[in-house]
Amino acid sequence: MLTLDPPRKASRTDSGSPPSAVMGTRTSGFYRHDLDGLRGIAIALVAVFHVWFGRVSGGVDVFLALSGFFFGGRLLRASLSSTTSLAPLPEVKRLVRRLLPALVVVLAASAVLTILVQPETRWEAFADQSLASLGYYQNWELASTAADYLRAGEAVSPLQHIWSMSVQGQFYIAFLVLIFAFAYLFRRLLGRHLRVALIVLLSALTIASFVYAIIAHNADQATAYYNSFARAWELLLGALAGALVPFVRCPMWLRTVVSAVALAAIVSCGFLIDGVKEFPGPWALVPVGATILFILSAANRAADPHLTRADGRMPLPNRWLASAPFVSLGAMAYSLYLWHWPLLIFWLAYSGHSRANFLEGAAVLLISGVLAWLTTKYVEEPLRLHAPVAQKPAVAIPLRIRLRRPTIVLGSIVTLLGVALTATSFTWREHMTIQRANGKELSGLSSRDYPGARALVNHARVPKLPMRPTVLEATDDLPQSTTDKCIGDFDNVDVITCTYGDVSAKRTIALAGGSHAEHWLTALDLLGRMHDFKVVTYLKMGCPLTTEQNPLVMGDNRPYPKCRVWNEKVMPRLIADHPDYVFTTSTRPWNIKDGDVMPGTYVGIWKAFADAGIPVLAMRDTPWLVRDGEPFFPADCLASGGDAISCGIKRSKVLSDHNPTLDFVERFPLLKPLDMSEAVCRDDYCRAVEGNVLIYHDSHHFTTTYMRTMTNELGRQVAAVTGWW
């Protein structure tokens, strides 16, 4: 994945040294082939762990540290030279020339595969992430997705891996501005002390970034994983290593030990550390620190005229990595990083498998390797390399001749691909805007034509009409409280309240908990206006009312400490407000077997309400749609050619024969069970569509359109419990 100063063929001048045009891997007078080899090791770890193990190997962190070393070290050397220009534009052009061509080619190929392989329900997400990848803010796009509970179960993006390139691109520009601006302002003033000042500045920024990474990791690891400043310390450490290279002095035996330990740590990192959960926190020091040690292990070696190859002056592990196979692999690391992930994701989408077996994984890696070699040879290198000055003719070449040069033609093709990809992404987003506008009519659908739940509960006749919402409308068929921002997001621990139904009524139902309580608002709002009660919301994404001390996000099991904080705030507030009833969910799916369960951590909630004399409308939770341990979207399935049955699930998989809440009614008389399962599932099967209405807008939230069709049945059950009508 490392893109700056990738290795060229090991050509030599007459003196046996590599050409001076090669930057970044040249330290103390000789070319660092071992760092090219380390790049090869890193990309091999990334690809192998992605394809076969489904884990983070630490290889990306190796890349980040190497990027900081190459790019940061080069800029530091430029800033310390009084004869070097500090104009940023040439550096920016150089970045664009090195980073964008291969990226555009892979994005264009991925766009074609998305249309051929993925259902159209995923095209908008791909369009958004294509633009984010081209604009180098993909990490922030993914961070916002990770924090969005409504998209928590979304299929993995074929462009997810580009987050690290976005982090690098942002770092390159920020570091360029910082170092050149600092040198411009203080180079004359500080003179020979400029190096020390830069080291102090970078050290302060590294410490600040590392401390921030720990804080962000503890607060919300899923979001921190993609945070640029939480990752900056990994690149800054590499830059600091570049600044310290001239001062390395140690015997060969110590260099060998350090090199061997560092390489062993890098290779074993993916097996020993779960980077998905632990990075970018303190455990990321293992791959990053090991990379820095490996860099320094062979740094500043004195020239030896008796050796014809500079690599011979390095420790044994470094010489191993300087061998041709590793160097060749490192040469195409960037392209291989770009290709392997989308090919893996598209194969899984096409095959329907949750993971690649050995042969499938080997085929993905082989094809990725071939495409990476072709991309490196015919896209990266021609557009990256300049002709030597000595070869440039003295006379001006006519424009019509220059336009026929292969590099000009290739550059034009890549540019056109980028423009076409951008235009297509914006066009599809505009199409989705129109679809959302069309979706506003869903609230006015005829109950005769679209009976929805009434087809199950009241055996209403179902005419043959197109399903609504459509697969493209479903994602945005959300309750009004979501639009009104009346549900706290993952980072917010404040208690947010909004009022619906008959806002002037004296009777109150408090709707409290997570989004699985929230989606009942549509029906409760209608009932409140019909039967003279108001609905006050106390909601937070992914956070039911619970006494759990270490809650997890249902669906991906990431730690959710802010759910506990919110519960500690909302329960006293609910008890103080003392509504006539609290409406909340009372069950959850089993994580270890079929069916549903009432978690033990809910019992303390029932006791608190019982002690306060507040009755609870305890709604059995929504059936979650899961296949092979992963949530699936009925809209995706339908868009891929499935039907209401094939895109549904067996009832026994998601609902137990007996509502678990009923087991606690005798102990808590104020607990009033509600169960709408018969309005969602048939006796043996939960279909994706009932009464011409799509039931789910993702894998576990009802569409607002289907919720409207459940209003009468919910009203019947609430009336039986409350006696209000």
Provide the CB-side half-sphere exposure for 338 (13 A, CA). Answer: 29
pLDDT of residue 1: 55
Question: Per the domain annotation, does 410 fall within a domain?
Answer: no
CA 76 to chain centre: 32
* Cα 274 to Cα 388: distance, rounded to the nearest angstrom: 46
In this prediction, residue 523 carries a pLDDT of 97
Band the pLDDT of 385: cuts 50, 70, 90: low
What backbone phi and psi angles, to 5 degrees, belong to 344? Answer: -65, -45
Residue labelled with tokens 């009942």? 520
Say if residue 84's pLDDT is above 80: no
d(CA 564, CA 359): 45
pTM of the model: 0.83
Assess whether pLDDT exceeds 60 at residue 435. Answer: yes
Look at residue 152 and give its three-state secondary structure.
coil
* Co-location of 129 and 252 in the same domain: yes
pLDDT 10s digits, 315-326: 899 999 999 999
One domain, residues 68 and 173: yes
The 3-class secondary structure across 49-106, one letter per residue, is HHHHHCCCCCHHHHHHHHHHHHHHHHHHHHHHCCCCCCCHHHHHHHHHHHHHHHHHHH
Mean pLDDT within 552-560:
80
| Per-residue pLDDT, 153 | 47
414 within some domain: no
For residue 478, tell me if it sits in a domain: yes
* Residue whose entry in the numeric block shows the structure tokens 């009084």: 82
Confidence of residue 391 (pLDDT cuts 50, 70, 90): very low
Residue 32, H or E segment: none
Answer yes or no: do 255 and 349 share one domain.
yes
322 DSSP assignment = T
pLDDT at residue 285 greater than cutoff 50: yes
Q: If you count them, how many residues does the chain have? A: 725
Q: What are the backbone angles phi and psi of residue 27, rounded to the nearest 5°?
A: -135, 135
Least confident of 393-402, 473-482, 647-656: 393-402
Residues 522 and 647 in one domain: yes
Q: In the chain, pLDDT over 90 holds for what percent of residues?
A: 62
Distance from the Cα of residue 310 to its chain's centroid: 42
Q: What is the pLDDT of residue 261?
A: 96
Residue 650 to residue 66: CA distance in whole angstroms: 50
In 3D space, the residue among 429, 349, 388, 370 whose CA is nearest the CA of residue 155 turns out to be 349
pLDDT of 585 > 60? The answer is: yes
Decide: 543 and 566 in contact? Cβ < 8 Å: yes
Per-residue pLDDT band at 67 (split at 50, 70, 90): very high
Final residue in a domain of this structure, among 320, 353, 383: 383
In a domain, 535, yes or no: yes
- Looking at the structure, tell me whether residues 585 and 712 fall in a common domain: yes
Q: Which DSSP category does 379 fall into? A: I
Q: Over the stretch 138-156, which tens digit does the pLDDT of each residue have?
A: 999 988 876 555 554 456 7
Range of the domain at 350: 36-303+310-383
Please give the single-letter amino acid code of residue 107: L
Q: Residue 501's closest CA among 520, 481, 527, 468?
A: 527
pLDDT at 586: 96
Query: Rounded to whole angstroms, how far apart are CA atoms 486 and 480?
Result: 9
What's 522's domain CATH number? 3.40.50.1110
Residue 511 in contact with residue 583, Cβ under 8 Å? yes
Residue 31 included in any domain: no
Residue 613 pLDDT more than 50? Answer: yes
213 within 8 A of 280, measured Cβ to Cβ: yes
Residue 403 is assigned to a structural domain of this protein? no
- Residue pair 702/622 in contact by the 8 Å Cβ criterion: yes
For the chain, the distance separating the N- and C-terminal CA atoms, rounded to the nearest angstrom, is 65
Residue 63: per-residue pLDDT: 94
H or E element, residue 510: strand 508-513
Res 363 pLDDT > 90: yes
- My answer on whether 328 and 460 are in the same domain is no
Distance CA 594, CA 587 (A): 13
Task: pLDDT band for 44, please (50, 70, 90 cuts).
Answer: very high
Do 572 and 669 belong to one domain? Answer: yes
Q: Which of 364, 383, 402 is the last residue of a domain?
A: 383
Cβ contacts of residue 144 below 8 Å, gap of 6+?
A: none
| Mean of pLDDT values over 505-528 | 96
Is residue 408 pLDDT above 80, yes or no? Answer: no
Whether 390 maps to a domain, the answer reads: no
Does residue 130 sit in the same domain as residue 259?
A: yes
Tell me which residue of 564, 702, 725, 595 sits closest to 657, measured CA to CA. 595
| DSSP secondary structure letter of residue 660 | G
Return d(Cα 50, Cα 34) in angstroms, integer: 24
- Structure token digits, residue 319: 């010489």
Q: How many domains is the chain built from?
A: 2
Centre a 10 Å sphere on the Cβ of residue 123 and count the other Cβ atoms it contains. 21
Residue with tokens 């068929």: 477
pLDDT: which is higher, 231 or 1: 231
- Separation CA 595–CA 588 (nearest Å): 9
CA angle 93, 95, 98 (to 5 degrees): 110
- Integer Cα distance of 385 and 405 in angstroms: 14
Separation between Cα atoms, residue 725 and residue 722, nearest integer Å: 8
At residue 587, the 3 state secondary structure works out as: coil
Lowest average pLDDT, out of 161-165, 418-422, 431-435, 616-620, goes to 431-435
Q: End of a domain among 334, 352, 383?
A: 383
Give the mean pLDDT of 48-74.
91
Average pLDDT value for residue range 694-718: 96
**CB-count burial class (<10 Å; 0-12, 13-18, 19+) for 208:** middle
| 191 against 363, higher pLDDT | 363
φ/ψ of 426, rounded to 5, equals -65, -35
Instruction: For residue 80, give the nearest of 236, 215, 196, 224 by alpha carbon.
Output: 196
Query: Per the structure block, which two tokens stand in for 345?
Result: 């994701």
Residue 29 confidence (pLDDT): 47
Residue found under tokens 């039907």:
643
For position 386, what pLDDT does the model report?
52
CA distance 118 to 115: 6
401 within domain boundaries: no
CA distance 470 to 251: 70
**Percent of the chain topping pLDDT 70:** 89
